Structure 1
Amino acid sequence: MYYFLGECRALWQARGLLWVMTRREVAARHAGTAAGVVWPYLQPLLVVAAYYLVFDVVFGMRLGDAAPTKAVGAFLVVGALPWMAFCDAVGRGMNSLIDAGGLLHKNPLPPVLFVTRTVLASGLIYGPLMLLVALAYLPSHGLQPPVLALVPLLLVQLLLCLVLSYVLAILAAALRDVVQLVGFFLSVGIYLSPILFPMAMFPERWRWVLWLNPMTALVQGYQQILLQGAWPPAAVWWVSFIWLGVLALLLNVLVARSRDQLVDWL
């Protein structure tokens, strides 16, 4: 883990520059828009509001007894918003090194800065939205103590997105096909996680497929907290940490093998 820890040290040493870069990244996402700084927050809110309007208000659809809540729209929002945050962070983070190729050729900056600023910018947008949703679901969880678990759950998702994005950014720099391949998996991944349906509705002998999605455990954690006011089960945490450990080991190998060639690939 020598190289992985080296990337962590580089981030810490350049934390001031990282914060400036992150603020500029957030500002760039709403530059030239009429809504200004509100626009990055307004887009995902409109999507989840449409879920609630269509499924709960218009159609009044209901889930079965195995679901943590009966209302389909309310169920979808809890999983869809974290999934949108994951796709935004991973999709942008994967392309961050390619987009910064010209700058990296001219300046000896740590590549990890560009991945991290992109993921942090997504976190600054979607993190407050998740806390806002937690307030909207107050009648469901009653502001019980398990709601406090939402903060570490969000931090775990942020770390997962960061490490995964850096892994994919290095692979995308070496092989541009990675961008199209990952884009496909992000588009179908929502169907391979308990976002559109409760885990209990998925055929038991095929449930192992859902665990291949790194967001499955986290989504279950959000559902437990916001829909039932309960502590996430232990499986949510240890599965998430297994994903983090495996990705960290993979990142360590990729950084070691690409450190002398990465800028040339860009």
Structure 2
Amino acid sequence: MWQDIRSAWDMRALLRVMVWRELAARHSGTAGGIAWVYAQPLLTVAAYYLVFDVVFAMRLGDAAPAKAVGTYLIVGMVPWQAFCEGIGRGTSSLIDAGHLLQKNALPPVLMVLRTVLASGAVYAPLLVLLALAYTPLHGVALATVALPVVIAAQLLLMVLLAYGLAILAAALRDTVQLVTFGLSVGIFLSPILFPVTLFPEAWRWVLWLNPMTAWVLAYQNILLLGDWPSWQSWLGMAAWLAGAGLLLQPLLRRSRDELVDWL
């Protein structure tokens, strides 16, 4: 893993160019160009607010961190969309770049970083804008300074998971379909669509099997309540980061000499 970190750092100038081209390629040929990369999640946020908070004026119970349904959904949905895009694209990143890796002695980690960092470049600014938009809920809370740390930790998690899944996908193509299915149902095993208090208490431990639960709770505390993330959130984030790193290490060792052949 440290070898990959050094390689990525030594080629950081190339990586910046690759990330920019990745963003541009997602909507190449359109009149709006790269603006569409940011327009799609912004329009999704606007739709949630308009439908749930303005048109239907739906409200959650007293135990929820926010009364307005749309306001609550947006805080969890934006980081979840970032996670899904980063993991979904990252899982197939090595397969998509197979022809390039077969002809050039480039570190495979660059292909994963290119995809995940491109997603991060789209959603990280949106989370900062959310923090500004949600300021009237709690004022300028000191806990807001934890937001960059939570965003950076989520980005690191996406890199670790995407890299491990990309290696598995190179060896077994079924991984891509399994990840797609897992992301489609994962939102229901998280506190994004409903507060944790609405989930049966005896089964709440299931929510922590979703890696994004700790992050979603942290975002909700910071943006909705102006509070510091709970110790459970910090512990969950640390556990998932450590677990993802430990699982990635043997995958890197196993694939070091065979990855190009798998591709």
Fold match by TM threshold 0.5:
yes
User: How many Å apart are 1:35 and its aligned residue?
Assistant: 1.5
Aligned partner of 1:137 among 131, 134, 138: 134
TM-score computed with the length of structure 2 as normaliser: 0.98
Name 1:150's counterpart in structure 2. 147
TM-score computed with the length of structure 1 as normaliser: 0.97
Name 1:214's counterpart in structure 2. 211
User: How many Å apart are 1:7 and its aligned residue?
Assistant: 1.4
Name 1:57's counterpart in structure 2. 54
Name 1:69's counterpart in structure 2. 66
Name 1:245's counterpart in structure 2. 242
Q: What is the rounded CA distance, in whole Å, between the counterparts of 1:47 and 1:190 in structure 2?
A: 16
Deviations 1:197-246 (A, max 9, x none): 00111000111110000000000000001100111112211211111111
Aligned partner of 1:93 among 90, 93, 101: 90
Name structure 2 gaps, 5 residues minimum. none
Amino acid at match of 1:111: P
User: How many Å apart are 1:16 and its aligned residue?
Assistant: 1.4
Name structure 1 gaps, 5 residues minimum. none
Q: What is the rounded CA distance, in whole Å, between the counterparts of 1:265 and 1:88 in structure 2?
A: 24
Amino acid at match of 2:249: N
Secondary structure at 1:211 match in 2:
helix
Aligned partner of 1:23 among 20, 26, 29: 20
Moved more, 45-54 or 171-180: 45-54
Runs of 4+ in 1 over 4 A off after TM superposition: none
Deviations 1:71-103 (A, max 9, x none): 000000000000000000000111100000000
Q: What is the rounded CA distance, in whole Å, between the counterparts of 1:141 and 1:151 in structure 2?
A: 18
Aligned Cα root-mean-square deviation (Å): 0.8
Name 1:106's counterpart in structure 2. 103
Moved more, 136-145 or 249-258: 136-145
User: How many Å apart are 1:141 and its aligned residue?
Assistant: 2.8
1:26-41 matches, cutoff 5 A? 26-41=23-38
Q: What is the rounded CA distance, in whole Å, between the counterparts of 2:76 and 2:30 in structure 1?
A: 28
Amino acid at match of 2:134: Y
Contact 1:141 1:147 in 2 (8 A): no
Q: What is the rounded CA distance, in whole Å, between the counterparts of 2:164 and 2:259 in structure 1?
A: 12
User: How many Å apart are 1:12 and its aligned residue?
Assistant: 1.2
Q: What is the rounded CA distance, in whole Å, between the counterparts of 1:165 and 1:141 in structure 2?
A: 35
User: How many Å apart are 1:37 and its aligned residue?
Assistant: 2.0
Q: What is the rounded CA distance, in whole Å, between the counterparts of 1:260 and 1:41 in structure 2?
A: 38
Contact 1:141 1:225 in 2 (8 A): no
Amino acid at match of 2:48: Y
Moved more, 30-39 or 174-183: 30-39
Secondary structure at 1:105 match in 2:
helix
Q: What is the rounded CA distance, in whole Å, between the counterparts of 1:85 and 1:183 in structure 2?
A: 14
Name 2:185's counterpart in structure 1. 188
1:223-242 matches, cutoff 5 A? 223-242=220-239
Q: What is the rounded CA distance, in whole Å, between the counterparts of 1:63 and 1:42 in structure 2?
A: 28
